[in-house]
């Protein structure tokens, strides 16, 4: 892009590592790097092509997060420690939803960038996707599995909204393509801060069980108007009514009306009651992960 974020961070006195995926822009950035006495480090790479699921040696600008963090000089810290690094960027509009899912899996599995701790993302996303991430129970089509999982996993803060007119939107000029939306407002790009929660992982929810949690939530939203008791029965959990009473969740509650924390409590209760086995949904979970990361 035009380097607005990079210039803003440099002007604020922040030490910046810039990932540039376009070889044509590297010479100017490297010239700037040489003039700033260590404040800027430029790397040929693409943040949104970190750790792709491909065999063999990676071809730049794709790269491994291990190599990136080693180059940056950032060491891994415990999950409950302070944020080790802050990342700024703009999500690729063509793959925005898929990128959000990939980051979500990495977050819950503590893989890729999240092997280094609670990495904070400060990213521009479309207004329609921001509305999805911050939707409330019962808000029609906006309240989705993606909503629940990001709200359970992160604190979500809106930092700034910028009209699309501020950005080049003509593909021929190399600008951003405005994502069309007929059911949610989409007049802005939104700078959103996603900070992983310190208490995300407990005895019930761990990185090793997180894929099952993600798949459970996705299954509940496959038919968002369905009742939770019906979904539990479809999983052969015949004492689901008793479980819901213990959690103080109404028996006739629809899956789209549960709060994100309700889904977490439900999963932890299922884990603690041994209703879920290690092989539960195993094949389906693996297939879901594979499809998201392609």
Answer yes or no: are the C-beta atoms of 152 and 260 closer than 8 Å: yes
* CA atoms of 50 and 126, how far apart (whole Å): 21
Looking at residue 141, its pLDDT comes to 87
From the CB of residue 172, how many other CB atoms can be counted at a distance below 10 Å? 6
* CA atoms of 61 and 19, how far apart (whole Å): 9
* CA atoms of 150 and 158, how far apart (whole Å): 14
Average pLDDT over residues 27-53: 93
Summary count for the chain: helices (H), strands (E): 11, 6
* CA atoms of 247 and 249, how far apart (whole Å): 5
Question: Which neighbouring-strand residues pair with 124?
Answer: 90, 191
Indicate the annotated binding residues for S-adenosyl-L-methionine. 1, 20, 46
Higher pLDDT, 240 or 151: 151
- Strands 16-20, 86-90: pairing is unpaired
Indicate the annotated binding residues. 1, 20, 46
Answer yes or no: are the C-beta atoms of 63 and 46 closer than 8 Å: yes
pLDDT in tens, 255-289: 999 999 999 999 998 887 766 654 455 555 555 55
Answer yes or no: are the C-beta atoms of 146 and 89 closer than 8 Å: no
* CA atoms of 228 and 278, how far apart (whole Å): 22
CA dist list (Å): 276 to 16, 203, 207:
45, 14, 16
The candidate with the shortest Cα–Cα distance to 26, out of 52, 46, 50, is 46
Provide the whole-model pTM. 0.89
What structural domains does the chain harbor?
1-74 (no CATH), 78-201 (3.40.50.150), 207-292 (1.10.8.100)
Which range of 90-94, 172-176, 257-261 scores highest in mean pLDDT? It is: 257-261
User: Which residues in 90-122 are b (16+ Cβ under 10 Å) and which e?
Assistant: bbebeebbbbbbbbbbbbbbbebbbbbbbbbbb
Looking at residue 178, its pLDDT comes to 66
The backbone region for 75, taken as left when phi is positive above 0, alpha when psi lies in -120 to 50, beta otherwise, is beta
Average pLDDT over residues 101-119: 97
* CA atoms of 49 and 60, how far apart (whole Å): 9
From the CB of residue 139, how many other CB atoms can be counted at a distance below 10 Å? 15
In the predicted structure, residue 171 carries a pLDDT above the cut 50: no
* CA atoms of 236 and 224, how far apart (whole Å): 19
Q: What is the DSSP letter of 254?
A: B
Looking at residue 284, its pLDDT comes to 57
The count of residues in the chain is 294
Q: What is the DSSP letter of 211?
A: H
CA 100 to chain centre: 4
Average pLDDT over residues 129-141: 94
Average pLDDT over residues 179-199: 87
């Amino acid at each position: 892009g035009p380097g607005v974020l990079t210039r803003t961070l440099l002007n604020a006195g922040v030490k910046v590592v810039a990932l540039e995926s376009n070889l044509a822009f590297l010479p100017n950035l490297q010239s700037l790097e040489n003039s700033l006495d260590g404040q800027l480090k430029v790397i040929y790479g693409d943040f949104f092509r970190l750790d792709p699921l491909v065999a063999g040696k990676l071809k730049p600008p794709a790269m491994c997060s291990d190599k990136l963090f080693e180059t940056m000089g950032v060491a891994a810290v415990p999950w409950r420690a302070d944020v080790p690094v802050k990342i700024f960027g703009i999500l690729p509009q063509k793959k925005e939803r898929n990128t959000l899912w990939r980051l979500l899996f990495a977050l819950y599995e503590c893989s890729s960038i999240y092997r280094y701790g609670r990495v904070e993302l400060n990213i521009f996303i479309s207004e329609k996707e921001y509305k999805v991430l911050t939707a409330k129970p019962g808000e029609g089509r906006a309240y989705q599995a993606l909503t629940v999982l990001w709200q359970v996993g992160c604190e979500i803060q809106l930092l700034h909204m910028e009209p699309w007119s501020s950005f080049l939107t003509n593909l021929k000029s190399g600008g951003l393509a405005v994502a069309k939306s007929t059911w949610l407002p989409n007049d802005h790009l939104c700078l959103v801060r996603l900070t992983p929660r310190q208490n995300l992982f407990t005895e019930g929810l761990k990185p090793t069980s997180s894929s099952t949690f993600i798949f459970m939530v996705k299954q509940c939203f496959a038919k968002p108007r369905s009742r939770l008791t019906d979904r539990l029965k479809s999983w052969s959990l015949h004492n689901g009514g008793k479980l819901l009473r213990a959690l103080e969740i109404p028996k006739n509650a629809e899956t789209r009306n549960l709060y994100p924390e309700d889904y977490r409590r439900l999963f932890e209760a299922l884990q603690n009651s041994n209703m879920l086995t290690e092989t539960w949904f195993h094949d389906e979970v693996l297939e879901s992960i594979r499809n998201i990361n392609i």
